[in-house]
Amino acid sequence: MKGIVTPHQILTSVFGYPAFRHNQEAIIEQLLQGKDAVVLMPTGGGKSLCYQVPALCLPGVTIVVSPLIALMKDQVDALVLSGVKAAFLNSTQSSGEQSLILQQLRRNELKLLYVAPERLVGGEIPFLHFLREIPLSLFAIDEAHCISQWGHDFRPEYRVLSQLKEVFPNIPVIALTATADSLTKDDIIRQLQITNYHVFENSFNRPNISYYIKPKKGYYDALLEYLEAHQEDSGIIYCLSRNATEKLAGDLLADGYSAAAYHAGLEKNLRDERQDLFLRDDIKIMVATIAFGMGINKSNVRFVVHADLPKNIEGYYQETGRAGRDGLPSEAILFFGAGDVMKLRGFAQVENNPEQTTILLKKLDQMVRLCETKGCRRKYLLNYFGEEAPGYCGSCDTCLHKPELQDCTVIAQKILSAVYRIKQGFGARYMIDILKGSNSEKIREEHKSLSVYGIGKDRPKEEWMHYTKELLQYHYLKQSANEFPVLQLTEKSQNVLFKGEKVFLTAPVQITIAKEPVIYQKHAYEKPLFEELKKLRNRIAHEENVPAYLIFSDSSLLDLATYLPVAQDDLPNISGFGAYKIEKYGRPFLELIQDYCQENQLGSKMNIKHPKKAKRASATRAGASDTKKVSYNMYRAGNTIAEIAESRQLAHTTIETHLSYFVSTGEIGIHEFVPADKQELIERAIAKYGRLGMKQLKDNLPEEISYGEIRMVAALAGS
Ligand code: ADP
Ligand code: ZN
């Protein structure tokens, strides 16, 4: 059944966002029509809203199945902070806590319930059977690839979900995942037995993440330089080994950074504690093995650094994807060195399994190629995942620092001649030693008298290496495939050596990373105010004992520091400021901005902000006052009248009056408050006595009909 309230109203009033992203709106529409949806969306794409919004449009409860307990709590905390009735059910809770939630479910007091898959199977009565007694709106299956053995994270408990459609043929199902491959996708559809569905696929591109790959040599200084410029930011640094995380975290601490190590070898308590501190921004930098990150929903991770080479592109993309979930510009930086390749080649050897070894080596090789490509990194990544992409993205190191081709004919001639003179029998290092005129013992006596010996003294070794690689890249040279690769000439090099053909190569460049965090370049914003706003938010978060980004994301605060809202009415136009949060937290933020503007003699810039698109129902626009709207939004978020009265410290009848206004405009269906049979009785009484004499109406109606119910029907009659 489709509620009267529109998804867009929920989006703006509860979540405080101006517009849907990607295909969120189409997905929600599909579900509201009672049909099923399979959603493939990258991390940070906004999967949760695809079921959270319909959950609030529909009358019953939405069951969300999620395998990640940490994530569950986070999501529920976030919803509760927006005034939505949500809870979770998993094995970490006592049986008392669990039965309390079951009671709330029976009374239809929850809009969303997050359940761990094992909870679906276990228990005295199977949970699915219990759910038959509850008014359900929707099933959302998060991390839906877990149902498939083809996926990378198969969970046998998920198999119970195959029964969903048998037990609840009429309840729509939405399956969500960030794993794209088509085998898994088809298997999800088959396992869930959905037939009336649509698959919603999204690009895997993460436009707000910039990709940088830098040389690993001397990387610690480069890292410090980067961190120095990003002191306020939170990030993850991935290392290959446990020891490496401990060492790097120690070094960073010693250099004055707020860092901690995280790996599977630490005690669970310590791990949980550090994760928590990181979520709360009390630790800024987590130096971790890949054990860290699964189920981390922290939206303001500004950078992900790989201090060591990842084993494959899948891992790299998943890890870098943890940056910038809030949509703000973020950075992925990888320090690439040849030593890591050797090490990982060793790890890829699976004993007695040559096929597996071949697969792992191939994946490693593709990872290395990403690091060595001269083309756009983003294009390489998207192509890897089977997506088309333009050759220039403008936000990766190769696009940003595309060096120009220069006439390098003389340099090329020197290198190619050397290769020719040493009879194509030696590797790059040896050839460069010849060019440099090295006195090393390794150099054979007969080579010291060659005409090319010492003709390259004018350039450092690194430059010769760079040009040699360039010649390899452009096929003027090739490398033999044996254990000790030697340089060999090609047809192209013959033309250079013997026909005087010109050669154009790129000069070596020092890749530098933008020093100012990119987020600050887009907006002209008040930096000191931004910092103050963050402090205020963090203080509130500490008081409420939740991660700061759940109160307001950095992007919301940036909006404040940019547009300087100074009136209560401005706040709904700030991203992330839903009605409930405005009511609860709006004031101190406004006061801070007001003070700041006064001190600095600044005016509000709300007029230049594109207002949140106000596609609201006409009645709301026509002037429901703010206080009515707050009650309305809280009601829509699943609160009862009594709860709204309690939380707003207003009389029960006041809330009823607020809501009856929306009954009169048609935004709330009368049936939501008054059963049809009672409605009929009340209407008859109104026809007889008129709608203004409340007491008279009450006296002439059956005892069990309340004043509230009469008021609602009267409101409708009067509209
Ligand atoms: P996913 O589950 O796909 O990784 P989330 O659902 O956690 O992503 O969403 C990532 C972030 O984007 C969250 O902070 C969420 O509030 C925000 N978000 C989602 N949809 C929108 C939207 N339409 N407008 C603004 N922010 C959004
Ligand atoms: Zn690019």
Q: Which amino acid type is present at position 34?
A: G
Are residues 536 and 428 located together in one domain of the fold? no
Within a domain: 78: yes
Are residues 66 and 170 located together in one domain of the fold? yes
Report helix, strand or coil for 398: helix
pLDDT at 672: 77
pLDDT at 619: 34
Are residues 468 and 602 located together in one domain of the fold? no
CA of 44 to the centre of ligand 1 (A): 6
Are residues 316 and 180 located together in one domain of the fold? no
453: CB partners within 8 A, 6+ apart: 434, 437, 447
Tell me the average pLDDT across 556-560.
92
Are residues 141 and 279 located together in one domain of the fold? no
pLDDT at 692: 67
**Chain segment 674-698, per-residue pLDDT in tens:** 888 888 888 888 887 777 677 778 8
Residue nearest to atom 19 of ligand 1 (CA): 46
Strands 209-215, 330-336: pairing is parallel
Measured on CA atoms in the order 605, 610, 613, 614, is the torsion positive or negative?
Answer: positive
As for ligand 1, residues whose beta carbon falls within 6 Å of it are 17, 20-21, 24, 41, 43-49, 297, 299, 325-326, 553
For residue 241, what is the domain's CATH number? 3.40.50.300
pLDDT(572) > 60: yes
Neighbours of ion ligand 2 (CB under 5 A): 376, 378, 393, 396, 399
273: CB partners within 8 A, 6+ apart: none
**Chain segment 234-251, per-residue pLDDT in tens:** 999 999 999 999 999 999
Q: Which of 15, 43, 557 to mutate to test the pocket of ligand 1 (most atoms within 8 A of CB)?
A: 15
Nearest atom of ligand 1 to the alpha carbon of 19: 23
488 neighbors 424 (Cβ within 8 angstroms) = yes
Distance from the Cα of residue 245 to its chain's centroid? 24
- Output the six-digit token pair for 481: 């495939």
Within a domain: 2: no
Number of other CB atoms surrounding residue 88 within 10 Å: 24
**Total domains, the chain:** 4
Model confidence at 663, pLDDT cuts 50, 70, 90, reads: confident
Within a domain: 1: no
Name the H helices within 150-218.
Answer: 164-167, 182-192
Are residues 169 and 70 located together in one domain of the fold? yes
Tell me how far CA of residue 131 lies from CA of 127, 139, 437, 606, in angstroms. Answer: 6, 11, 81, 47
Nearest atom of ligand 1 to the alpha carbon of 15: 16
Residue nearest to atom 1 of ligand 1 (CA): 44
CA of 216 to the centre of ligand 2 (A): 20
Residue nearest to atom 9 of ligand 1 (CA): 46
CA of 61 to the centre of ligand 1 (A): 21
Ligand located closest to 391 CA: 2
pLDDT at 717: 72
CA of 325 to the centre of ligand 1 (A): 7
pLDDT at 403: 63
Tell me the average pLDDT across 490-518.
71
pLDDT(58) > 80: yes
Of the residues 144, 179, 201, which one is the last residue of a structural domain? 201
Q: Which of 177, 325, 556, 612 to mutate to test the pocket of ligand 1 (most atoms within 8 A of CB)?
A: 325
CA of 362 to the centre of ligand 2 (A): 23
Residue with more model confidence, 719 or 613: 719
pLDDT at 148: 84
Within a domain: 516: no
What's the chain's average pLDDT? 86
For residue 475, what is the domain's CATH number? 1.10.10.10
pLDDT at 521: 40
Of the residues 201, 236, 260, which one is the last residue of a structural domain? 201
Are residues 374 and 474 located together in one domain of the fold? no
Q: What order do you get walking across the sheet with 86-89 strand by strand?
A: 86-89, 112-115, 61-65, 136-141, 173-177, 36-40, 197-201
Nearest atom of ligand 1 to the alpha carbon of 549: 14
Q: Which amino acid type is present at position 290?
A: I
Residue with more model confidence, 476 or 715: 476
Model confidence at 325, pLDDT cuts 50, 70, 90, reads: confident
**Chain segment 515-540, per-residue pLDDT in tens:** 333 443 445 789 899 999 999 999 99
Query: 77: burial class by Cβ within 10 Å (0-12, 13-18, 19+)?
Result: middle
pLDDT(662) > 50: yes
Tell me the average pLDDT across 373-396.
88
Within a domain: 514: no
Report helix, strand or coil for 176: strand
Q: Which of 17, 114, 320, 556 to mutate to test the pocket of ligand 1 (most atoms within 8 A of CB)?
A: 17
pLDDT at 309: 96
CA of 225 to the centre of ligand 2 (A): 23
Residue with more model confidence, 84 or 157: 84
Residue nearest to atom 5 of ligand 1 (CA): 46
Ligand located closest to 376 CA: 2
Residue nearest to atom 10 of ligand 1 (CA): 44
Lowest-confidence pick of 199-213, 392-406, 453-467: 392-406
Within a domain: 237: yes
Are residues 380 and 424 located together in one domain of the fold? no
pLDDT at 718: 64
CA of 46 to the centre of ligand 1 (A): 3
Nearest atom of ligand 1 to the alpha carbon of 20: 23
Taking alpha carbons only, the member of 504, 475, 476 closest to residue 404 is: 504
Are residues 298 and 415 located together in one domain of the fold? no
Q: What angle do CA 123, 129, 130 make, to 5 degrees?
A: 70
Q: Which of 49, 81, 145 to mutate to test the pocket of ligand 1 (most atoms within 8 A of CB)?
A: 49
Ligand located closest to 209 CA: 2
Lowest-confidence pick of 88-102, 324-338, 445-459, 652-666: 652-666
Report helix, strand or coil for 209: strand
Ligand located closest to 41 CA: 1
Nearest atom of ligand 1 to the alpha carbon of 47: 3
Tell me the average pLDDT across 368-382.
93
358 neighbors 364 (Cβ within 8 angstroms) = no
Model confidence at 360, pLDDT cuts 50, 70, 90, reads: confident
pLDDT(472) > 70: yes
**Total-model pTM:** 0.60
CA of 160 to the centre of ligand 2 (A): 43
Supply the range of the domain harboring residue 40. Answer: 7-201
Residue nearest to atom 13 of ligand 1 (CA): 326
Residue nearest to atom 25 of ligand 1 (CA): 17
pLDDT(557) > 80: yes
CA of 142 to the centre of ligand 1 (A): 14
CA of 214 to the centre of ligand 2 (A): 14
Taking alpha carbons only, the member of 349, 354, 486 closest to residue 420 is: 486
- Output the six-digit token pair for 686: 């109104």
CA of 383 to the centre of ligand 2 (A): 12
Are residues 34 and 124 located together in one domain of the fold? yes
CA of 53 to the centre of ligand 1 (A): 12
Q: Which of 21, 22, 41, 48 to mutate to test the pocket of ligand 1 (most atoms within 8 A of CB)?
A: 48
**Chain segment 116-166, per-residue pLDDT in tens:** 888 876 656 678 888 998 999 999 999 898 898 766 667 888 888 998 999
Within a domain: 392: yes
pLDDT at 654: 79
Nearest atom of ligand 1 to the alpha carbon of 18: 24
CA of 394 to the centre of ligand 2 (A): 5
The top-scoring range by mean pLDDT among 53-57, 347-351, 635-639, 692-696 is 53-57
Helix then strand count (H, E) for the chain reads 33, 17
- Output the six-digit token pair for 335: 């320090």
Residue nearest to atom 26 of ligand 1 (CA): 17
CA torsion, ordered 141, 147, 148, 151, to nearest 10 deg: 70
Residue nearest to atom 20 of ligand 1 (CA): 46
Model confidence at 552, pLDDT cuts 50, 70, 90, reads: very high
**Chain segment 416-450, per-residue pLDDT in tens:** 999 999 999 999 999 999 999 998 888 999 999 99
Within a domain: 513: no
Are residues 495 and 606 located together in one domain of the fold? no
Of the residues 174, 201, 228, which one is the last residue of a structural domain? 201
Are residues 384 and 280 located together in one domain of the fold? yes
Nearest atom of ligand 1 to the alpha carbon of 327: 12
